[in-house]
Amino acid sequence: MTMKTVLFILLDRYADWEAAPLASVINRQPGWRVQTVSPAGSPVRSLGGFTTVPEGAVPAQLPPDCAGVVLIGGLSWRTEAAGAAEAPVRDAAARGIVIGAICDATVFLGRIGLLNDMPHTGNLLPDLQDYAGNGYSGSLFYRNENVVRSGRLVTANGTAAMEFAREMAVALELMSAEDAARWHRLFTLGFHAAPEDAFWWFGRMNSGGES
């Protein structure tokens, strides 16, 4: 079976709660895996206090098996360290690879000019405009929504980790929109409010990820 990799770019002081829902969905799918990278390949510490040892450094060019690039938010996307992400993100955009950005990672996409002609969202439009400066001219495409999926681009604000995972699962073609909605409903409402979804999801996981 050919493996597909989804690259998670983690900077120091990353928001661990934004990564976990999506990563857990990806890693439970047969033939899929998460690969974590940091700017220098060095350990990074999350805002929740977890020290993460990445599998390597952020690559300048994505590997052939890469199906997606995920930029997890946090407090370092406005620092020099964020620059390491520009080359692989541009490579993903050029090759039609799925790109996901949540929370403050969206301002990074704005600064490098990748939000100018695609519907998108973020934490706050004025902040995005202020930080991204001349690199950003996409205010007409900004949506005041928790998450926006536009083709192979998914953006979300920092309160929407579950919605981000749902839309990324659809963009990556891990799940149909209907199945992703069931997953989201289960993990937002809980077992007792959505028992049918629970039995469906955990049955799927026990059978190797198949519906």
Q: Which of 41, 29, 11, 4 is nearest to 165 (CA)?
A: 29
Residues 26, 67, 103, 107: which is the catalytic one?
103
pLDDT band at 144 (very low <50, low <70, confident <90, very high): very high
Report how far apart the first and last C-alpha atoms of the chain are (Å, whole number): 19
Q: How many CB atoms within 10 Å of residue 24?
A: 13
Task: Identify the pLDDT of residue 88.
Answer: 98
Residue 14 sits at the vertex; the CA angle it makes with 10 and 16, to the nearest 5 degrees, is 100
Looking up tokens 């629970």, which residue turns up?
198
At residue 200, the 3 state secondary structure works out as helix
Q: Which residues of 9-19 are buried (b: 16+ CB within 10 A; e: fewer)?
A: bbbbbbbbebb
Q: CB neighbours of 94 closer than 8 A, spacing ≥ 6?
A: none
Mean pLDDT on 53-60: 97
Question: What does the DSSP 8-state code read for residue 28?
Answer: T
Question: What does the DSSP 8-state code read for residue 177?
Answer: H
Give the mean pLDDT of the chain.
96
Question: Does the reported pTM lie above 0.85?
Answer: yes
pLDDT band at 166 (very low <50, low <70, confident <90, very high): very high
CA torsion sign for 94, 98, 104, 110 is: positive
Rounded distance, CA 203 to CA 208, Å? Answer: 9
Integer angstrom CA distances of residue 105 from 4, 67, 117, 162: 23, 19, 18, 16
Residue 103 among the catalytic residues: yes
Task: Identify the pLDDT of residue 208.
Answer: 66
Task: Identify the pLDDT of residue 2.
Answer: 84
Domains and their CATH numbers in the chain: 4-174 (3.40.50.880), 176-211 (no CATH)
Task: Identify the pLDDT of residue 207.
Answer: 75
Rounded distance, CA 85 to CA 157, Å? Answer: 19
